[in-house]
Amino acid sequence: MLFGKRNAVGVDIGSNSIKICALDESARGLSLKKFDMAPLPPQAIVEGAVMNFSQVQDKLKELVSVNKLKGRPAALSISGHSVIIKKISLPQMTEQELDASIMWEAEQYIPFDIKEVNVDVQILDPQAGQGQMDVLLVAAKKDVISDYVSIAMDAGLSPAVMDVDTFATQNMFELNYGFPSNETIALINVGASMININIVSNGITQFTRDITMGGALLTEEVQRALNVTYEEAEHYKTGGSENISSSAMFREVQRIAEKVSGTLVTEIQRSVEFFRATSVGEDIARVYLSGGGAQMGPLVRLMESRLQVPTELVNPFKNIVIDTKRFDIALLQKIAPSAGVAVGLALRRSSDK
């Protein structure tokens, strides 16, 4: 059976690196078939938009060829300013009626020309009270989508699904942890240049926001303070003490990481406080962090103390069987937080939209 099978390759084109993931589904559950990543030069992707086509194309082509993915359907995703996610309230109607009227309804919620976006809707709560229903509206700019699609096609993939980072992270989380009933949690994906916040109650999105900030801020500050290249700064900040010859340098990187983590937490806190002030439900019970930027030393601790909410790092491979003969487990564990979006995308079926 081809339809409904999880045959899509997850392709996460992030600003720091491209990640690819393929899963196999059997009676034993999901197992990892492929996972690989390739770093991108800084500025190849800026705030979710492709700036340097050939750099991104070359890296993806390499990944596709090394991992023998030519011709495979791909699930891609985008995030940032070109995507609008909004929970809106509409008069109760059928799904057909919603599809027919959504372009017209959506117009007032979207800061772009409605002709420039693709719109998708999902009914969250068909009976939200007083004849209304809650609907999740997702609008994404067509030009950004077509950039990602053409890069994937050029690499020999067959783009089948277009997702957004926030919902890919949500699907990855559901697979590995499940959504607790009667509890509100925050899923926060901290990448290199983007932070995707998604506050979920009983598995239903209540609030989302993308912040254009992330781990790249630490790289930049380390570059400046130690007067080193981008590559050196990446190396120092991610490897801990073994990457750094002098202990004075190590302390300096730690000092900067503390400062930058504080900046990121302040921004995240602003969104969380906004949610707390505008929602009527109960408060966030737990924060789950993913993304490579979440590995910044002090981040989990600072989040926990400032938000006063227990915080943990997500393992995207928690419920995925990994063959130790085929994969380097130690390496996978090391980069695991970065894999969240790619794993979430690999869960999609090519028959999805």
Residue 123 beta carbon to ligand ATP: minimum distance, rounded to whole angstroms: 29
Q: Which stretch binds ligand ATP (CB under 6 A): 8-16, 103-111, 118-126, 280-288?
A: 8-16
Residues 67-86 contacting ligand ATP, CB under 6 A: none
Number of residues that bind ligand ATP (CB under 6 A): 22
Q: Supply 97's token pair.
A: 């009626």
Location of structure tokens 């090394």: 66
Q: Which does residue 10 bind out of ligand ATP, Mg ion, none, counting CB within 5 to 8 angstroms by kind?
A: none
Residue 269 beta carbon to ligand ATP: minimum distance, rounded to whole angstroms: 19
Q: Which is nearer to Mg ion, 134 or 340 (CB)?
A: 340
Q: Which is nearer to Mg ion, 134 or 165 (CB)?
A: 165
Residue 191 in the binding site for Mg ion (CB under 5 A): yes
- The Cα 99–Cα 153 span in angstroms is 29
Q: Which is nearer to ligand ATP, 5 or 301 (CB)?
A: 301
Residue 67 beta carbon to ligand ATP: minimum distance, rounded to whole angstroms: 18
Q: Which is nearer to ligand ATP, 16 or 201 (CB)?
A: 16
Q: Supply 80's token pair.
A: 């940032």
* Segment 37-45 long-range contacts (CB within 8 Å, at least 24 positions apart): 37/63, 37/335, 37/338, 37/339, 38/62, 38/63, 39/234, 40/14, 40/15, 40/16, 41/230, 42/15, 42/216, 42/219, 42/230, 44/15, 45/13, 45/14, 45/15, 45/193
Other beta carbons within 10 Å of 11: 30
Q: Which is nearer to ligand ATP, 121 or 190 (CB)?
A: 190
Residue 129 beta carbon to Mg ion: minimum distance, rounded to whole angstroms: 36
Residue 14 in the binding site for ligand ATP (CB under 6 A): yes
Closest CA to 344 of 323, 313, 318, 324: 318
Other beta carbons within 10 Å of 101: 14
Residue 215 in the binding site for Mg ion (CB under 5 A): no
Residue type, 30: L
Give a three-class secondary structure readout of 46-60: ECCEECCHHHHHHHH
Residues 293-352 contacting ligand ATP, CB under 6 A: 293, 295-296, 338
- The Cα 82–Cα 274 span in angstroms is 22
Residues 6-65 contacting Mg ion, CB under 5 A: 14
- The Cα 353–Cα 343 span in angstroms is 17
Residue 342 beta carbon to Mg ion: minimum distance, rounded to whole angstroms: 9
Residues 183-242 contacting ligand ATP, CB under 6 A: 191-194, 214-216, 219, 234, 237-238
**Which parts of this chain interact with Mg ion (CB under 5 A)?**
14, 191
Binding site for ligand ATP (CB under 6 A): 14-17, 45, 191-194, 214-216, 219, 234, 237-238, 291-293, 295-296, 338
